[in-house]
Structure 1
Amino acid sequence: MFRGMENMAELTIGAFARASRLSPKALRLYDELGLLLPARVDGTTGYRYYTGDQLDRARLVAWLRRIGMPLARIGEVCDLCERDPRAAGRDIGAYWARVETETAARGDLVAFLVGQLSGLPAGEGVEEMSEMGKGKETAMRYAAGSDRGLVRPVNQDTAYAGTRLLAVADGFGDDGARASGAAVEALVALEESVRGADVLNGLADAVDRVNRAGATGGPGGSGTTLTAMLWTGSRLALVHVGDTRAYLLRGGEVSRITHDHTLVQSMIDAGSLTAEEGVSHPRRALLLRALDGSEDHARPDLRLHDVQPGDRYLLCSDGLFTVVRPEDIRRVLRTAAEPEDAVRELIALALAAGGSDNVACAVADAVTRV
């Protein structure tokens, strides 16, 4: 980029602003923040001077600002670009993927609120919109199961599937079984009590109550992960904290719809580790978020997810996806006739792979009834 200007003579801040298409005010800000330091500052006048070989960094800072990247991260990306441009490119890509995910979640919430505020009956909202007037009703067929595995002395995983709720929790520490059970139990209570616009708030409140009530953070650093989906009729409200996962089979394609809250995943997002390297990383089980009694660690991801007839959803603990090959998980989701068949076969695959951890999964199919 702009290599022809590297030998340009020293430029005043005004000349450099014109060459870089940045304002002098922006250049002064970037200097103060350490993002783009002048090549020289006159000791008497305080005037800033730049050189042509600083144009690449100036333009990169400006471009990253245009995509909304925080200034602190811009500095890290610019420094990384000077050492390893490819790694910097991966980091920018990871940042934008996160932006798109968060934007999609906010878009879902906006659509939900628009429906609520557009005269729909209180407590119903958009959950009734997609099938109203079609003579059809969308329902869920579901199953859940859990197994201690072949190595662990107790089962600390909890799985649940009901008429409106799917949930999987993976407990840890001396009291992990109680922690995972308490987390799922708190959500089961929402199946009949929470609907419409209250669904996301209901999930968030339930998670907060569990975290503050002492059901987590017990002996031995106890706590639990949690991934759950509460069905509202045409949408699923997702709550997720930790490294339990949710997958979606739609149109023959399987995609993961949760993002692990782990050290390894954060390194992958930052471009310092590849997904392949993460599989065997020695700290792959280190959680950055969990329900462990700490308010800082318990921040859940919350979003609304559109449901289509024919969708199949899988929620599972890491005792499944860390030992069963992704292609085998995809095959089972595509071929199992019923949710209970999928649950049974997935647990069997985890045990056949050594069963080194507890394993839990819940599967639900969205079906249309005339």
Structure 2
Amino acid sequence: MTTPDDAGTPDWNDTTATLRDLFAKKDAAGDVQAAEPELTTFEPGGPVAVVDADAVLEADGRDAAAQDEPAESPISVNGTPEPGADDLLTASPVTETSSPDEGAVSVAPVEPAVVEPPPPSTPPAAPVAAVTPETTGTPPAPAGVSDDLEEEVYALSAPVSGPVVGDVLDGYHLNEELGRGWFIASPVGSGPSVDVYARPEPLWATAQAHRALPRFTRSGALHVLEPVGGEPVAAPLAVPTALASLRELTQLLFALERQGLVVVDLDPDAPRVTPQGVRLRFPPRLARVGDVPQVAVREGITPPEVLAGQPADPRSGVAVLGALLYRWLTGRILPPEGASDAVLGAMTVGGVPQLLRGMLGPPEERLTPAGVLATLKTLTAPPLPAYHVAAATDVGLNPERPTNEDSYGFTWRQLGLHGAAELVLRACVSDGMGGMAAGEVASAAAVRGFLGSERSTLTEMVWDANAAVLTAMAGRDGGCTISGVELRGAALHLGHVGDTRAYLRQGGAVRQLSRDHSYVAAMVASGQMTPEEAQVSPERNKVLRSLGSLRVPQENYVQTLDEPLTLVSGDRVLLVSDGVWGEVPDAELFPLLDTLPVQELVDRLIALALASGAPDNATALVIERVR
């Protein structure tokens, strides 16, 4: 090789001859390797640069396609063809002898490749100088290695399968794709657009009908949903509204669990608020318990164990609803790391952060559908009602009645326990029967027996009062009437025997709950006496049923309500003896029951009875729900 000329450009013929030189080396085991061809250039006073031979071949105008063509006479080492020898150039047959300890290497003659010089307009040295360290400032790339960074975009090799927008399938024209197999479609003839599912038989189509699931019909391969209507659930929601919607969807989870099915995906926009409750526009994606579901990931919805490829469990559906509840309450998508303590702690309704933590925790710690329903029952239970109770009694003005034979009483038991709050208010008025010995003993025993009964029904409580009267009287002639009520939370129950009365003021109207078990009441019921005649009849104090007159309970002897009545704030229950209702007509009593405060009411009723002469003992007890 010659040195560069005065212009610093190497002689082209020498460069070509250098490319044709072949070198071979022998490794320590005696094997022969063909050396990579190298091109060396020298700059005056500078270092030696090594240039890739392929770069020179491209620079001198050689056709790139020709590089891939096999050489006419392949190079052989020791008579064996060497792969890739078509890329090597030789000027003439060469034999090179190495040092004595390395042995001799023989290279077979090869026909020289013809390399045309570059066009005169292209400086031949430019490609060589472009890779020298002095020009680029970086070391050259090793032979056969490219430092070019290129990105090639490959077209999808899998063809699009399945129906697409514009197709007509089983009598429906697919108008809009909603993803995951769903389309908005319209009948080919005429009719409103509907949602259709255009994939093979889905698992949700095998589930039993449920009020939260959309109804569907089959049209060939399509599943055509009936329109649900209603409005989408718009977040954020008030906590009571969100929990009420969650309860209905959790009941769906519970029903699916009994069928061995699990919810693994749900469109957040599927729930609709309808007059019939929450219903889904699109059914959820289901899996069988124990199967590994294959689902498309939905941000903020897909349970972590489903993402991890673990078997489906009923708790997976709880995680889906937990993510939905998080969105309803916060208006945000559940982040991948889950609900933070900061976000949960910012909620202002007690029990809600704990519910979300229980629904979004690890699968082994997560609530089951039944556990969610139990928690919701506690969270959504109405607060215990509050009542005011007032009572008064008076012996009356009859000189022949020195003893007040009326008795009343009430007990109030209230428990504040987690998941087991309880309020029971029991009250009664009893009237000892006039003319009989020790009527006050009978009425007092009846009140104690009724209030102290551990029975669960009002009928049984009244018979316990009857037993107490028999015991107290010890064979003496005596008895009493009773009107008793029990409030269990807001539910009103009644037990009644005789002619004491129970009234209810509700919704601005007053009505009598009890029926008089008396002679005049039977006469009025049979049409032999008018109510006005009964009011002044001398027989009006004769009763047909009383406590203490029977030792064996009789069926239908005790009057009860067909169904408990629910009291709301402002409702009142009034219990009175005949010494009050007999002297204060309904036309005067009802307005008072509707207007006066409870303590003022009972005092006013006693005063009116006294003003009317009070021939009998007078007792009144009123209960008002104030919250």
Structure 2 match to 1:290: 546
Task: Name which of 156, 172, 175 aligns with 2:405.
Answer: 156
Q: Which runs of 4+ in 1 moved over 6 A?
A: none
3-state SS in 2 of match to 1:162: strand
CA shift for structure 1 position 134: 5.6
CA distance in 2, matches of 1:225, 1:237: 17
Query: Are the equivalent residues in 2 in contact too, given 1:131–1:137 (CA < 8 A)?
Result: no
Partner AA of 1:142 in structure 2: V
CA distance in 2, matches of 1:139, 1:199: 23
Task: Name which of 600, 603, 609 aligns with 1:350.
Answer: 609
3-state SS in 1 of match to 2:511: strand
Partner AA of 1:317 in structure 2: S
Identity percentage over the alignment? 33
1:163-242 aligned within 5 A: 163=412, 164-172=425-433, 173-190=436-453, 193=454, 198-200=456-458, 202-211=460-469, 213-216=470-473, 218-219=475-476, 221-242=477-498
Structure 2 match to 1:145: 392
3-state SS in 1 of match to 2:441: helix
Structure 1 match to 2:534: 278
1:1-370 aligned within 5 A: 133=380, 135-151=382-398, 152-163=401-412, 164-172=425-433, 173-190=436-453, 193=454, 198-200=456-458, 202-211=460-469, 213-216=470-473, 218-219=475-476, 221-295=477-551, 299-303=557-561, 304-309=563-568, 310-337=570-597, 339-368=598-627
Q: 1:257 to 1:217 in 2, by over 3 A?
A: farther
CA distance in 2, matches of 1:246, 1:276: 20
Q: Please, which runs of 5 or more residues in structure 1 have no aligned partner?
A: 1-129
Query: Are the equivalent residues in 2 in contact too, given 1:288–1:297 (CA < 8 A)?
Result: no
Q: 1:222 to 1:208 in 2, by over 3 A?
A: closer
3-state SS in 1 of match to 2:385: strand
Query: Are the equivalent residues in 1 in contact too, given 2:447–2:465 (CA < 8 A)?
Result: no
Tell me the matched-pair count: 232
Deviations for 1:37-81, whole angstroms, at most 9, x for unmatched residues?
A: xxxxxxxxxxxxxxxxxxxxxxxxxxxxxxxxxxxxxxxxxxxxx
Task: Output the aligned Cα RMSD.
Answer: 2.5
Structure having the higher helix fraction is 1
CA distance in 1, matches of 2:576, 2:378: 29
CA distance in 2, matches of 1:271, 1:293: 28
CA distance in 2, matches of 1:316, 1:145: 10
CA distance in 2, matches of 1:361, 1:265: 21
Give the TM-score taking structure 1 as reference length.
0.58
CA shift for structure 1 position 355: 1.5
Q: 1:268 to 1:168 in 2, by over 3 A?
A: same
CA distance in 2, matches of 1:324, 1:254: 15
CA distance in 2, matches of 1:317, 1:135: 34
Give the TM-score taking structure 2 as reference length.
0.35
Deviations for 1:200-259, whole angstroms, at most 9, x for unmatched residues?
A: 354144134225x3335854x311000100111121221100000000111121110000
Q: 1:349 to 1:131 in 2, by over 3 A?
A: farther
CA distance in 2, matches of 1:217, 1:253: 44
CA shift for structure 1 position 295: 4.1
Higher RCO, Cα 8 Å, sep 6+: 1
Partner AA of 1:161 in structure 2: F
3-state SS in 2 of match to 1:138: coil
3-state SS in 1 of match to 2:592: helix
CA distance in 2, matches of 1:313, 1:210: 25
CA shift for structure 1 position 132: 7.5
3-state SS in 1 of match to 2:540: coil
Deviations for 1:157-184, whole angstroms, at most 9, x for unmatched residues?
A: 0122332112100002121001000000
Deviations for 1:288-345, whole angstroms, at most 9, x for unmatched residues?
A: 10013324897321234312212101000000011112222112211112x2121111
3-state SS in 2 of match to 1:230: strand
Q: 1:201 to 1:174 in 2, by over 3 A?
A: closer
Partner AA of 1:264 in structure 2: V
Q: 1:186 to 1:363 in 2, by over 3 A?
A: same
Query: Are the equivalent residues in 2 in contact too, given 1:315–1:363 (CA < 8 A)?
Result: yes
Partner AA of 2:409 in structure 1: Y
Structure 2 match to 1:36: none
